[in-house]
A = this chain, B = another copy of it.
């Protein structure tokens, strides 16, 4: 972990710089995958399974007996934990499922309103990687079901044994996902964007993944598919003062670092002594961790930044705009109120990031790479869309018509103007 003491504000941008993606080669490879899946459907998926994973397959569907044996395999203790997590996540997410459908008469005879509707067909991508990420199933399927999406499908890559982990399948069924497909990577995203003989086309694609998956999500937007967000390497910033507990902070930084060598970890503190205590703790705790090598690699490009005041620390955090932020300061509640750029915030010494990752109730699908400045994590709303409506009466058009006519003419759009005047003339003739 690199330690930087009292950097000047002009050094902040380079200090907080995230690595720029090298999209060139990746982008062309993904474009090729997307076009092959678009044109050849399932056949392309079978070919990629062979080419990329050495798997000979001709069936992508997870069948009933597979769900049943998954359910038997998952230990009771884990089932209980998943149940508790689901209850908390549901409780929190129910908060924003209101549908006010507000109406307003903007002018006499001009009625406007908005209706929020569930997105009909959604596709959840659940990566496998080094571990079965069943928590992602909870975080995506629960809000999808609360929103009322008609069709919720899931794609997930299999292991070398051609199976999806039992915990993932169990969580999918437990959260109401009926259909699961054994396919991963950019080709799974393409399959959900266009549909194949087996996999239905969906309206919006959710879920994290590797760089190929993220690139594919960005590219299918060109074809009318919606996506939750471009997910990148996970990030954590910890804001600490002398009331923070070094052992806790070290444990939190390590929990983020173990996600992958490209994880971003930043500690912002107000004293050198505290940072030294944390780095000492990190060394001690690292020894007991099975993923120590991954942690070390993430820590290599991580930074501990010492600043002169909490105010400066908060400015620095807002500039960095982390996915996760732990505010472990004396006045955590007040300090957190001044944070304007973060995905999810954890307050005080007992709110570890892993609480939000699994079971506090908030959603762990959050924007990375600084994009929390402009977008939000997944909510129930992410699984809805809204339609606006307007209904003008004859007198409504008489009231608003002249305004539209003047504006349309000034934009040089004569047919827009005439769509109004032809109606006003007709109404006038009727009145005469």
Contact = CB atoms under 8 A, between A and B. Distances in A.
Interface residues of A, number: 139
A255 B415 contact: yes
Given A404-B355, A404-B358, A373 B226 contact: yes
Contacts of A223: 20-21, 369
A164 to B, nearest CB: 14
A347 B387 CA distance: 13
Contacts of A210: none
Interface in A107-121: 107, 110, 112, 114, 117, 119-121
Contact of A120 (B258, B340, B353): B340
A197 interface: no
A103 B114 CA distance: 25
Given A85-B403, A387-B345, A360 B226 contact: no
A4 B62 CA distance: 40
A309 B407 CA distance: 37
A45 to B, nearest CB: 20
A357 B413 CA distance: 11
Contacts of A427: 350
A224 B369 contact: yes
Contact of A353 (B257, B340, B419): B419
A222 B230 contact: yes
A52 interface: no
A245 interface: yes
A400 B106 contact: no
20 contacts: A95-B102, A110-B355, A130-B412, A245-B426, A248-B419, A248-B426, A288-B418, A346-B389, A347-B389, A350-B396, A350-B423, A350-B427, A351-B392, A352-B397, A352-B420, A353-B416, A355-B404, A358-B404, A376-B385, A376-B386
Given A91-B106, A255-B418, 8 more contacts: A81-B407, A84-B400, A88-B400, A226-B371, A288-B418, A350-B392, A354-B408, A360-B392
